[in-house]
A and B are shown apart, each in its own frame.
Chain A
Amino acid sequence: MTGSDYTRRRFLRDAVLASGGTWLLGACSSTPVVSTDTAAAGGRGGAAQAGLPAIEGAQLVTDPARMPKKFREAPEFAKLVSEGKLPPVAERVGSAPLVLKPVHSAGGYGGEIRRGFVGQGDFQNAVRFCSGPDSLLYWDFRFEKVVPNVAAAYELSDNDRVLTLHLRKGMRWSDGSPFTADDLLFWREDVSLSPELGSGSSSMRIGGVEVELEKVDDLTVRYVSKTPNPTLPERLAGWTDLAGMAANAHLGGGGFLPKHYLSQFHPKYTSVDAANKLATDAGFKGWAAHFRSLASWHQNPKLPTVTPWVLTRPINNPPWEFGPNPYSIWVDDKGNQLPYIGRITMGNVENTEVLALRAAAGEYDVQDRHLVVTNLPVLIKNEKRGSYKIHRAPNTEVDCGIRLNLAYDTDHELGELIRTVEFRRALSLGIDRGQINEAFFLGTCTPTATMAARGSIYDPGPEWHTKWATHDPAKANKLLDRIGLTTKDSAGYRMRKDGAGRIILDYQAFPSIADFIGIGEMVKRQWQRIGIDVNVASAEANLLTQRATANQLMLSGQSVGTDDPFLKADTFLPTVTNNYPGMIGIPYAKWFASGGKQGTEPPDSLKLLKDAMALYAKGLSEPDDDERVRMGKKLYMMHADQVWSIGIAGFGLAVNGVYLTNNRLRNVPARVVNSLQMKSMNNTYPITFYYE
């Protein structure tokens, strides 16, 4: 009989007792750090986790008294300046540069960062590491408040209906042209709202009405909404279609675009024929496809950008390479223009096992993408040999759960069962989360319901953390008996009420950040004890999208929940109408989005879902921050109580949670918030990394 497990909690308890209250950490860095972050309100990132160092990061300096007066630059730029090919650095960073105080110390120039990426679909790899980020606003490193980024300052007024952005004086694009309000307007009027190019930005809409973008002067713009729009700064800062050129320009989003460069390819500024001719010359079918390709940060080296690194070799001609942006607006508090490390090289890998082995061999200087939790032991084992350090960054979301399609109706009886709250609660109680955590996540996740991060501003309290999310087969059986599923067949499985045999649920998944098929198999065994049979099948991601949009999926294993319902609610509430994360209820989402004209209205059994959607819509427009946070908490409470998705284990390392850095790199923060909204790992601030 296998003995008792020596859980992480027990180890820490012993460690605490042994060391008189001082926290020790896991194998994260060689110097033990005493955590002082005990009182952290944790923003949306949650409280400091036991056993891991405190969150730290570079800090934005806005106090004019601390702004540097003299500037320095990389030697290669100094040389070009002396040859007269570049203006001097003080001119290049503009009069209002973005000043960052590096987390540990100022550094010196030189070196390159090597990384790995996996195929053409992996363009987010660079976006989440070396794009700056180039969004107009950003979060502070604790994920607590929105701070200026590309824009110099912002303010909300008129009951949060008007957001004013001030741009940086003297700021330039990477080719030297000035960056002005015209670039934001060009984006909004000629791209975002264009029927051929626009992405139908949902972030520029509130209460069904478009947000107007107005130019005040060359350095000031205003976003004007009809109803209060308090979350707009957060949308400009987080992971939305407004968040910067690197992530979104090729999709018609981003918030701003280089007008001086792209207008020559836009029919409004030339002519349709001229634009089409340029397109066909380049091998594209029409000017729209050409435009999109030109606006792609990872494919077009000629595209002017504001990111700290500029593309020198595109992703579709590996290796993928970046060089330093001479007009980078980032400087450190001593006046050194950032980044310190000018070159980034990314090698293409055909499969992730090779990537893991190369990482273990020390061939990468910073690698966060595609390192899965199950590779951790091998990576840790080779730390010394590869001369790197492994960092762990627990996620702010629930890495593993089961998404339910509340609108499922292909098999009416099963659909009705899914819409019965006792059924969902029973399914959730039938799962042994500790097992799944051990087998698939090496014990690094926390068993949980679909919930906000522990200690985040939305955390409703400990009694909600595992609401309906403990392992209680007895209670689950009672609930199932109570709703009338009392007939069982010879194998102990519950029968359908219409007499057509056993209840067989349908679970489909594809292995992405974790082995969701294996997890399905384990859940299948666990549900045997409560008499529910389930068919586990794997399907390509593509197929799942198709099936989700056609409302054919029933259950699917993937990540669930969110760290902020007002910024990203796609798996949390029925808000998305056209892809796999929205499978919680695509017909309902259509109904909500169209105001009742399309889609299906949620039935009475899901009345609370309607209430939640109403609360969500209200919260989006709620100017009082505290009230909005209270509403967010209520949403989490409702979701957990009604089990609209089944949370299994979360706040772990499954998504970008494991990253390694070369031992010779400095200014690597001991721990960062790992969140999509923060575009992690941009928040490690690689612009401040340097080699010693």
Chain B
Amino acid sequence: MLSYVGRRLALGLFTVWAVSVLSFLIIQLPQGDFVTTHMTELADSGNSSAVYEAERLRAEYGLDQPIFVQYFDWIGGVVRGEFGMSFDWNRPVADVIGDRLVLSMVVSVAAIIFTWAVALPIGVYSAVRRYSIGDYTLTFLGFLGLAVPNFLLALVLMYIGFAVFGTDVGGLFSAPYENAGWSFAKAWDLLKHLVIPAIVLGTAGAAQLIRIMRANLLDELRKPYVITARAKGLPERRVVTKYPVRVALNPFASSIGFLFPQMVSGSIVVSIVLSLPTVGPLLLRALQAQDMFLAGAIVLLLGVMTVIGTLVSDLVLMWLDPRIRHAT
């Protein structure tokens, strides 16, 4: 089994390398580079009288080198832990991402908590009270969450928050707390701002979860051991929760690995709409401005997390299901 893990790690490394090459290429595909973006922005804000030597800037940024030279420079630095400088932000990439990574995680965790807290009870209820009005209504609502495009939902909720409740518009912090040190008040402020993002990001996942939970639980509830337990006089609640629910949860355990990278990619649009200071909008702007090192670092990061996620999932599955363990 150790050899299996070792092999998977080695292959994982290969995958990460492949991802890095592909990411770098993809980012370079659009015509132009950061210098073009910079000059466009200057012209757009009325600075066309600044006659720039684009070539000089390019040489400085190293953008005039052939592409594989640029790649090796970059990946060499990454391996050493130097992610380079973001042209757009004029700060080290690691600083720029670091600020936002923590917040991305917080938002993802909040969305996941919302998803599970909403979906599990509804899924269980739907399975137990199958075909009841409650079942149909809740399932329908769950589906609605899946079907409505989340950026629209975000805008509408944000507007309702503004117009009806007078809540802060978007963002994760109110102005006074943005730079303050961490305190109970700041945490509370953050929580208040997390409500809309959690709802918007969580509803789609919740719908999926409800359906799967319901289906799995239904399968389990038909099994002989449940009938036995009931016949033996166990209260209904224990019958349901003691084993069936836990078994039905198996598939989620194995998908935990993917949650974070999926969240980050899936939340780009919503983060832009709600103006959340997370990794998503950072990536989009970096791609549009062709801020090579920043975009490359983020894409690489997401790729690495996915690979780790796959590995974790496979390991968890292997641990849970003896058949797979023995087959390797």
Residues of B contacting A543 in the complex (Cβ-Cβ under 8 angstroms): 30-32
- Given that A114-B175, A316-B89 are known contacts, is A248 also in contact with B31, CB under 8 Å in the complex? no
Residues of B contacting A354 in the complex (Cβ-Cβ under 8 angstroms): 158, 169-171, 273-275
| A133 on interface, CB distance cutoff 8 Å | no
B166-186 residues at the A interface, CB under 8 angstroms = 166, 168-171, 175, 178-179
Residues of B contacting A581 in the complex (Cβ-Cβ under 8 angstroms): 43, 48
Structural contact, A545 and B159, CB atoms closer than 8 A: no
Residues of A contacting B275 in the complex (Cβ-Cβ under 8 angstroms): 349-351, 354
CA of A576 to CA of B168, assembled, Å: 45
Structural contact, A203 and B49, CB atoms closer than 8 A: yes
Residues of B contacting A350 in the complex (Cβ-Cβ under 8 angstroms): 271-272, 275-277, 281
| B118 on interface, CB distance cutoff 8 Å | no
CA of A545 to CA of B169, assembled, Å: 35
Residues of A contacting B44 in the complex (Cβ-Cβ under 8 angstroms): 512, 541, 580
Structural contact, B285 and A541, CB atoms closer than 8 A: no
Interface string of A19-54 (1 = CB under 8 A from B): 000000000000000000000000000000000000
- B8-16, B34-42, B230-238, B299-307 - interface stretch: B34-42
| B91 on interface, CB distance cutoff 8 Å | yes
| B328 on interface, CB distance cutoff 8 Å | no
Interface string of A565-594 (1 = CB under 8 A from B): 000101000001111111000000000000
CB of B153 to closest CB in A, whole Å: 14
- Given that A239-B46, A545-B40 are known contacts, is A196 also in contact with B32, CB under 8 Å in the complex? no
Interface residues on B, range: 35 or more
CA of A174 to CA of B54, assembled, Å: 33
Q: Which residue of B lies closest to A593 (CB)?
A: B51
| B139 on interface, CB distance cutoff 8 Å | no
Structural contact, B43 and A542, CB atoms closer than 8 A: no
Partner of B32, one of A361, A542, A577, A578: A542
Structural contact, B43 and A580, CB atoms closer than 8 A: yes
| A87 on interface, CB distance cutoff 8 Å | no
CA of A577 to CA of B51, assembled, Å: 9
CB of B264 to closest CB in A, whole Å: 15
Interface string of B30-69 (1 = CB under 8 A from A): 1110001101111111111111111010001110000000
Residues of A contacting B48 in the complex (Cβ-Cβ under 8 angstroms): 568, 570, 576, 579, 581-582
Structural contact, A121 and B54, CB atoms closer than 8 A: no
- Given that A286-B60, A317-B91 are known contacts, is A357 also in contact with B49, CB under 8 Å in the complex? no
| B90 on interface, CB distance cutoff 8 Å | yes
Q: Which residue of B lies closest to A316 (CB)?
A: B89
| A411 on interface, CB distance cutoff 8 Å | no
Interface string of A238-250 (1 = CB under 8 A from B): 0111000001100
Structural contact, B32 and A120, CB atoms closer than 8 A: no
| A676 on interface, CB distance cutoff 8 Å | yes
- Given that A357-B169, A542-B290, A580-B40 are known contacts, is A351 also in contact with B272, CB under 8 Å in the complex? yes
| A353 on interface, CB distance cutoff 8 Å | yes
Structural contact, A361 and B162, CB atoms closer than 8 A: yes
| B88 on interface, CB distance cutoff 8 Å | yes
A215-272 residues at the B interface, CB under 8 angstroms = 239-241, 247-248, 251-253
Structural contact, B88 and A120, CB atoms closer than 8 A: yes
- Given that A239-B46, A543-B32 are known contacts, is A199 also in contact with B51, CB under 8 Å in the complex? yes
CB of A332 to closest CB in B, whole Å: 29
B154-203 residues at the A interface, CB under 8 angstroms = 155, 158-159, 162, 166, 168-171, 175, 178-179
Structural contact, B40 and A579, CB atoms closer than 8 A: yes
Structural contact, B61 and A542, CB atoms closer than 8 A: no
| A434 on interface, CB distance cutoff 8 Å | no
| A623 on interface, CB distance cutoff 8 Å | no
| B288 on interface, CB distance cutoff 8 Å | yes
| B85 on interface, CB distance cutoff 8 Å | yes
Q: Which residue of A lies closest to B85 (CB)?
A: A283
Residues of B contacting A114 in the complex (Cβ-Cβ under 8 angstroms): 175
| A437 on interface, CB distance cutoff 8 Å | no
| B221 on interface, CB distance cutoff 8 Å | no
Q: Which residue of A lies closest to B175 (CB)?
A: A347
B227-276 residues at the A interface, CB under 8 angstroms = 271-276
Q: Which residue of B lies closest to A567 (CB)?
A: B49
CB of B30 to closest CB in A, whole Å: 7
Partner of A319, one of B42, B50, B62, B175: B175
Residues of B contacting A629 in the complex (Cβ-Cβ under 8 angstroms): none
| A208 on interface, CB distance cutoff 8 Å | no
| B289 on interface, CB distance cutoff 8 Å | yes
| A535 on interface, CB distance cutoff 8 Å | no
Residues of B contacting A247 in the complex (Cβ-Cβ under 8 angstroms): 47
Structural contact, A316 and B90, CB atoms closer than 8 A: yes
CA of A251 to CA of B171, assembled, Å: 32
CB of A303 to closest CB in B, whole Å: 13
| A337 on interface, CB distance cutoff 8 Å | no
- Given that A241-B49, A578-B51 are known contacts, is A293 also in contact with B32, CB under 8 Å in the complex? no
Structural contact, A363 and B42, CB atoms closer than 8 A: no
Residues of A contacting B276 in the complex (Cβ-Cβ under 8 angstroms): 350
CA of A349 to CA of B175, assembled, Å: 12
CA of A239 to CA of B44, assembled, Å: 13
CA of A365 to CA of B138, assembled, Å: 45
Structural contact, A348 and B91, CB atoms closer than 8 A: no
Residues of B contacting A349 in the complex (Cβ-Cβ under 8 angstroms): 170-171, 275
CA of A284 to CA of B49, assembled, Å: 27
CA of A199 to CA of B52, assembled, Å: 6
CA of A54 to CA of B39, assembled, Å: 37
Partner of B49, one of A358, A544, A568: A568
| A124 on interface, CB distance cutoff 8 Å | yes
Residues of B contacting A60 in the complex (Cβ-Cβ under 8 angstroms): none
Q: Which residue of B lies closest to A571 (CB)?
A: B48
Structural contact, A251 and B273, CB atoms closer than 8 A: no
Q: Which residue of B lies closest to A235 (CB)?
A: B49
Structural contact, B37 and A542, CB atoms closer than 8 A: yes
| A285 on interface, CB distance cutoff 8 Å | yes
Structural contact, A542 and B30, CB atoms closer than 8 A: yes
Interface string of A527-551 (1 = CB under 8 A from B): 0000000000000111111100000
- Given that A121-B289, A345-B175 are known contacts, is A358 also in contact with B31, CB under 8 Å in the complex? no
CA of A124 to CA of B36, assembled, Å: 18
A641-692 residues at the B interface, CB under 8 angstroms = 676
Structural contact, B50 and A120, CB atoms closer than 8 A: no
Structural contact, B60 and A289, CB atoms closer than 8 A: yes
Structural contact, A200 and B51, CB atoms closer than 8 A: yes
- Given that A345-B175, A580-B40 are known contacts, is A283 also in contact with B32, CB under 8 Å in the complex? no
CA of A348 to CA of B32, assembled, Å: 27
- Given that A316-B91, A582-B48 are known contacts, is A546 also in contact with B32, CB under 8 Å in the complex? yes
| A119 on interface, CB distance cutoff 8 Å | yes
CB of B50 to closest CB in A, whole Å: 5
Residues of A contacting B36 in the complex (Cβ-Cβ under 8 angstroms): 542, 545-546
Residues of B contacting A577 in the complex (Cβ-Cβ under 8 angstroms): 51
CA of A363 to CA of B155, assembled, Å: 18
CA of A200 to CA of B54, assembled, Å: 12
Structural contact, A360 and B162, CB atoms closer than 8 A: yes
Residues of B contacting A358 in the complex (Cβ-Cβ under 8 angstroms): 169-170
Residues of B contacting A121 in the complex (Cβ-Cβ under 8 angstroms): 41, 88, 289
CA of A346 to CA of B274, assembled, Å: 18
CA of A43 to CA of B170, assembled, Å: 43
CA of A317 to CA of B90, assembled, Å: 10
Q: What are 17 of the A-B contact pairs (CB < 8 Å)?
A: A201-B51, A202-B51, A241-B50, A284-B85, A285-B60, A319-B175, A319-B179, A350-B272, A351-B273, A358-B169, A363-B175, A542-B30, A542-B32, A568-B48, A578-B54, A579-B42, A581-B43
The 4 closest A-B pairs by CB, nearest first: A200-B51, A579-B43, A354-B275, A350-B275
Question: What residues of chain A have their CB less than 8 Å away from a CB belonging to chain B?
Answer: 114, 119-121, 124, 196, 199-203, 239-241, 247-248, 251-253, 283-286, 288-289, 293, 296, 299, 316-319, 345, 347-351, 353-354, 357-358, 360-361, 363, 512, 540-546, 568, 570, 576-582, 676
With contacts A543-B30, A568-B46 known, what are 9 further pairs, Cβ within 8 A?
Answer: A120-B285, A241-B49, A253-B50, A288-B60, A354-B169, A361-B169, A545-B32, A579-B43, A581-B48
